[in-house]
Amino acid sequence: MPKSSPGFSIWRSNDGRWRSNTLGRRPIEQRQQRIGRMPSNEPTYARPDYLVDTAWLADHLDDPDVWVIDCTVDLTVTPDQYISTSGRATYDKGHIPGALFADLIERFSAPGSRFNFTLPSAERFAEGMSALGLRNEQRFVLYSTTTYTWATRFFWMLRAFGHDRTALLNGGCKKWQSEGRPIATSATSVARSNFVATLKRGVFVGTSEVEAAIGSADTTILCALGRPQFTGEKPSYRNQHGRIPGAKHLAAISLLDPEDGTLLPADELHEKLDKAMLLDAKRIIAYCGSGIAATGDAFALAVLGAANVAVYDGSMQEWFDDPSRPVERDVL
């Protein structure tokens, strides 16, 4: 019998390759070229429209319906903690021509929250988008100059607030620059708009839903951090060690081609899902340290067609906030 995962089915054929039949689309007959160029007559993924390649974007920079958004956050790593700062300075040093800058710290996080990168209210999100001059009917292409999960975080936020015409630049700004494509230093300015946002339930979840999922046969908890953080060898948030009990593991960084930073082909992603024992999951809640890397896992699952995936917004920073909450470790 084929194995099933949230919203898609996958099975291994006699030649050892993974086959899928996702959302009624034709099965994958062989490993295909990485997706990104749109439209595609032979989609590798269930949602190829969630990715665009650099050539496609270069051809659409002047398209009035397509708006590029730089989601960069700068991260400084110290022995004790990670320090995140606005990526505005990095944007000012160079960005894809015409790109607007979305400040995930100053504009697109809830003010006054005790936790980093807390999902803002629909009103605050709409205000941020309106201030940038963005409209609901437009198509957005997201990228980051640093790690790709800043872009997937903003993708998941847009999803939560009802906007589904969004894609990631496959390979991000690094791939764009490696191909010798143009970089601008002057900021893009657009007249204020009237963006409308309505929060969809279940795209992000809170601690109570994660607590209810522990031991549940209907929900799989998924850790997107690295293996040392998952086992407890290294801290999963600041100086605190451990994982949410029963969690499976799929490191977000492992879903990219290490050479060019593009998302792995569908068959390789399915292999990773199988290894992580995720193919039978009915529902997945992904988490990480502060709700960033988890969106990398969630994005890849969405590209494959998984419909019932959520991100634990507070992740381990919130989980560790109450010492009574249980954790597991392989390393004591």
Question: pLDDT, tens digit, for every residue of 61-109?
Answer: 999 999 999 999 998 877 667 789 999 999 999 999 999 999 999 999 9
- Return the pLDDT at 1: 33
Confidence of residue 18 (pLDDT cuts 50, 70, 90): very low
Phi first, then psi, for residue 51 (nearest 5°) are -135, 140
Answer yes or no: are the C-beta atoms of 328 and 236 closer than 8 Å. Answer: no
Are 235 and 153 within one domain?
A: no
Would you put residue 301 in left (φ > 0), alpha (ψ -120 to 50) or beta?
alpha
Task: Give, rounded to a whole angstrom, the gap between the first and last alpha carbons of the chain.
Answer: 40
What gap in Å lies between CA 303 and CA 298, rounded to an integer? 9
- Return the pLDDT at 79: 65
Are 305 and 215 within one domain?
A: yes
Structure tokens belonging to residue 80? 């004790």
> What sign results for the dihedral spanned by CA atoms 79, 84, 294, 247?
positive
- Return the pLDDT at 82: 75
**Range 44-50 average pLDDT:** 91
- Return the pLDDT at 25: 32
- Return the pLDDT at 124: 98
Is residue 37 in some structural domain? no
Share of the chain above pLDDT 90, in %: 80
301 to 50, 93, 297: CA distances (angstroms): 11, 33, 6
What gap in Å lies between CA 169 and CA 57, rounded to an integer? 8
Is residue 33 in some structural domain? no
- Return the pLDDT at 76: 83
The residue type at 77: V
Confidence of residue 2 (pLDDT cuts 50, 70, 90): very low
Are 52 and 138 within one domain?
A: yes
- Return the pLDDT at 83: 86
Bridge partner list, 66: 139
Number of folded domains in the chain?
2
How many residues are recorded in the chain? 332
The runs of H, that is alpha helices, within the chain are 54-59, 88-93, 122-132, 149-160, 172-178, 207-213, 227-231, 266-275, 293-303, 315-319
**Range 127-136 average pLDDT:** 98
Q: Over 90: is that where the pLDDT of 245 sits? A: yes
Are 169 and 208 within one domain?
A: no
Answer yes or no: are the C-beta atoms of 230 and 223 closer than 8 Å. Answer: yes
- Return the pLDDT at 68: 99
Taking the model in full, what pTM does it have? 0.86
Share of the chain above pLDDT 70, in %: 86
- Return the pLDDT at 279: 84
Is residue 297 in some structural domain? yes
Element (H, E) at 220: strand 220-223
Q: Give me the chain's average pLDDT, please.
A: 88
Are 173 and 54 within one domain?
A: yes
What gap in Å lies between CA 262 and CA 249, rounded to an integer? 21
Are 91 and 152 within one domain?
A: yes
- Lowest-pLDDT choice from 76-90, 189-203, 208-222: 76-90
Confidence of residue 238 (pLDDT cuts 50, 70, 90): confident
Are 158 and 209 within one domain?
A: no
Is residue 24 in some structural domain? no
Q: Residue 295: give its domain's CATH number.
A: 3.40.250.10
Name the residue with tokens 């993708």: 155
Are 118 and 237 within one domain?
A: no
- Return the pLDDT at 85: 94
**pLDDT tens, residue by residue, 256-312:** 999 999 999 999 999 999 999 998 899 999 999 999 999 999 999 999 999 999 999
Q: At what angle do helices 149-160 and 293-303 cross, to 10 degrees?
A: 70
What gap in Å lies between CA 272 and CA 253, rounded to an integer? 12
- Return the pLDDT at 332: 59
231 to 58, 227, 248, 287: CA distances (angstroms): 42, 6, 11, 15
Of the two residues 76 and 141, the one the predictor is more confident about is 141
Nearest to 19 by CA among 255, 278, 270: 270
Structure tokens belonging to residue 172? 């991000």
- Return the pLDDT at 138: 98
Answer yes or no: are the C-beta atoms of 312 and 234 closer than 8 Å. Answer: no
Domain C-terminal end among 161, 178, 195: 178
Are 60 and 167 within one domain?
A: yes
Q: Which domain holds residue 170?
A: 48-178
Cβ contacts of 142 within 8 Å, gap of 6 or more: 68, 69, 71, 151, 154, 155, 166, 167, 168, 169
